[in-house]
Chains A and B, each alone.
Chain A
Amino acid sequence: MGPARSRSRTPRGVRAAQYTALAGYLAFLAFPFLWLLSTAFKPARELGSLHPTWIPEDPTLGNFRQAFAEQPLAQAALNSLVAAVCAAVLAVALATPTAFVLARRRGRLATAATGWVVISQAFPFVLVIIPLFLVLKNLHLVNSLPGLILVYVVWSLPFALWMLVGYVRAVPPELEEAAAMDGAGRLRTLVSVVAPLLAPGIVATALFAFITAWNEFFFALVLLKTPEKQTLPVVLTHFLGAEGAADLGPLAAAAFLATLPSLVVFAVIQKRITGGMLAGAVKS
């Protein structure tokens, strides 16, 4: 009833302005993607046009054919997918119990750990890459996807942890007390009671870790050496020359394909985030 009442109080003109602003914002957000899509289907002559059009006048799949012919895009996409999925799953698997401890145990150690998590986000890539490279080399994990996944997990873990601590704190401790009263141990309580309530947070965190790993370029560039191991962001740079020169058509085609998995994953998962949030609201 509440939301309905508040809707009825909004003047029609204001609501129209809100929708207009929203539509404008969505158009702004969608512009790069739609332009990428348009560019991917344009032949070379149209790419050099002084008056570019949204809809290609002579659409072609040539850019896609050329992109696949010149670079191992399918293998790179598989590598990216493996790295991103594994990083997301492992980051969540490690962050969930740790976040539970940090959220429930108050004390100097937990405060220091949380502070370290925040500070660790401030380290630039270039500062850590050489020591990291040496560590991975000693572990024989340079030029291997498991090595890259390990880096991605470590890299995304602090933020994942930070996100999940917030979600854990939103779960009423009374539920855990009730579980304890029913005879559940700590692990059982975490797995059976807390984890399901954390589903939206876990999904959001996994999504964050997935997209971070999917888009990551620098670690992959440095750590993966042979073509069959390289990920999509690295392979995309093979369409770029010195001083900003670019093979624009195939680059756009490949970049368009590279954005699709993120969009699909987000489209699938965001329903679960919303559903989970609503479920949590009813329970509390």
Chain B
Amino acid sequence: MRRRAGRRARAGAGAPAWVCALVLVLLAATAGGCSAPRGTSDGVVRLRFQSLAWQKESVDANRALVAEWNAAHPEVQVQYVQGSWSSVHDQLLTSFEGGEAPDVIHDASDDLADFAYGGYLADLRPLLSERLKADIPDASWETVTFGPDGGVYGVPFLQEPRVLMANTELLRASGARIPTPEAPWSWEEFRTAARQLTAEGRYGVAWPLKDPVSATLNLGLSAGGRLFHRDAGGKAAIRWSEGDAVVPATIRAQTETDRSASRATLGMGGSDTLPGFFGGRYAMVPLGFSYRQQIVAQAPPGFAWQVLPPPAGAEGLSQGVSPQTLSVAQDSPYKKEAAAFIDFLLSPANMVRLARGDWMLPTGTRALADPALRTPELGWATGAALAAGLRPAPAQSVRGYPEWKDKVATPALQEFYSGAIDLAELEKRLVGDGNRVLARYQR
């Protein structure tokens, strides 16, 4: 026992030394310390640009543009920082609170309201060039305009409409009229076409409704649905109209009555439906425009597909979007330089590069007119034709919308689409419970 204790005593005495050595070596291996200085005594301004680009082509385009800027502007150097869409809100909120936010911030317009009202973002009105102001349509600027004095807290630069990805072979064989942006399907025609495309072992359409709120609300604009309304004083309220019922009622009818839509996909994300689309199990899938990239990468050889416009209602091909945006942090000491970098990044030619990298549409009118984004290949022309109908998502600037979305609308719509509640109960929950949520934010 004593001999064993002695052996252990030697081992124990040695342990702290090697443990300390290990910790020191590992720390030394990655030492580098604290945040990079934002401006230094050498007179060079250093900006941090946090980008949420994630697809290879998109990351490449962003990095290339940063490199080009840095080469041309030795006095203002931009550091590219890769962010990620997941948890970006919490990450930015913490950075703002701690005074460590990036100078140039990439985000989506529906995420900006809280930051804008919280005073974390710079009002860009005095900073933006006339060229950029004029190049982006008013409808897009509306998505980043907040507060009673109409401050502009971001530059909307990329957006994506929802479209119908269709199996070309099945569509032609069904005999259904093939819609175009000039002559789209009505919602009733869409229902008929989905029935025509339905056969043994195949559904006419697969709705991926893991996130049912944005799809329902944004497509609902075409039928005149808004759900969110503002009074003269700018106070938001939820009201139900006939137009608000069109999209949910159509989807419910397709799954319950027509059996032309798969119930299984209601809980899926967009990517989850692609194998069924490729395998001929679903003839059409409503997806964001950028999903074309995944289809191109994953579709089996010989698979023929095409992009169709979404159904149109009383308001034509209108639909809601939340564009991707570039903002400047209020705490940044280099707002002018940051705005100049944004101006460079969003020149028409560069906007085209960013749009192609993300498989989305640019907001800028000159970029949108670029022939590269008007080609019929891969549905670019169809998407570009939809741009005129894109509107700010109705709820995006409403304070309390995220809580309404998570606590009220998502469960209510999921229950409705699954058949657990009827349309009257859906309306009661979205409006009644929803207005109680909004009231707390508007006292």
Contacts and interface: CB of A to CB of B under 8 A. Distances in A.
Interface residues of B, number: 68
Interface in B1-45: 2, 5, 8-9, 11-13, 15-16, 19, 22-23, 26-27, 29-36
Contact of B85 (A70, A130, A144, A242): A242
Of the candidates A48, A51, A133, A140, the one having the most CB atoms from chain B within 10 angstroms of its own CB is A48
B48 A225 contact: yes
Nearest to A85: B26
B275 A222 contact: no
Interface stretch (A22-30, A106-114, A227-235): A227-235
Given A52-B275, A238-B84, A137 B94 contact: no
A62 to B, nearest CB: 11
Contacts of A168: none
Interface in B81-97: 81-82, 84-87, 90-91, 93-95, 97
A146 interface: yes
Interface string A125-165: 01001100110010011111110010000000000000000
B54 A196 contact: no
A29 B80 CA distance: 40
Contacts of B94: 129-130, 133, 222
Contact of A134 (B87, B97, B279): B97
B91 A222 contact: yes
B9 A192 contact: yes
A239 B278 CA distance: 23
A81 B26 CA distance: 9
B241 interface: no
Given A144-B34, A225-B81, A218 B90 contact: yes
A52 B94 CA distance: 41
**Majority SS of interface residues in chain A?**
helix
Contacts of B271: 244-246, 248
Among B22, B52, B84, B91, residue most surrounded by chain A Cβ atoms (within 10 Å) = B84
B270 A229 contact: no
Interface string A243-266: 111111000000000000000000
Q: Can you list the 9 inter-chain pairs with the closest CB atoms, starting with the nearest? A: A50-B279, A48-B298, A192-B9, A196-B8, A237-B84, A244-B269, A133-B98, A82-B26, A44-B297
14 contacts: A52-B275, A85-B23, A130-B94, A137-B98, A145-B30, A145-B32, A149-B27, A192-B8, A225-B81, A227-B80, A229-B30, A238-B82, A238-B84, A245-B269
Interface of A: 44-45, 47-52, 66, 70-71, 78-79, 81-82, 85-86, 89-90, 93, 126, 129-130, 133-134, 137, 140-146, 149, 179, 182, 188, 191-193, 195-196, 217-218, 221-222, 225-230, 234, 237-248
Given A89-B22, A130-B93, A243-B214, 6 more contacts: A50-B276, A142-B34, A145-B31, A229-B30, A230-B82, A244-B211
Interface of B: 2, 5, 8-9, 11-13, 15-16, 19, 22-23, 26-27, 29-36, 48, 52, 54-56, 59, 79-82, 84-87, 90-91, 93-95, 97-100, 102, 108, 210-211, 214, 269-271, 274-276, 278-279, 281, 288, 290-291, 294, 297-301
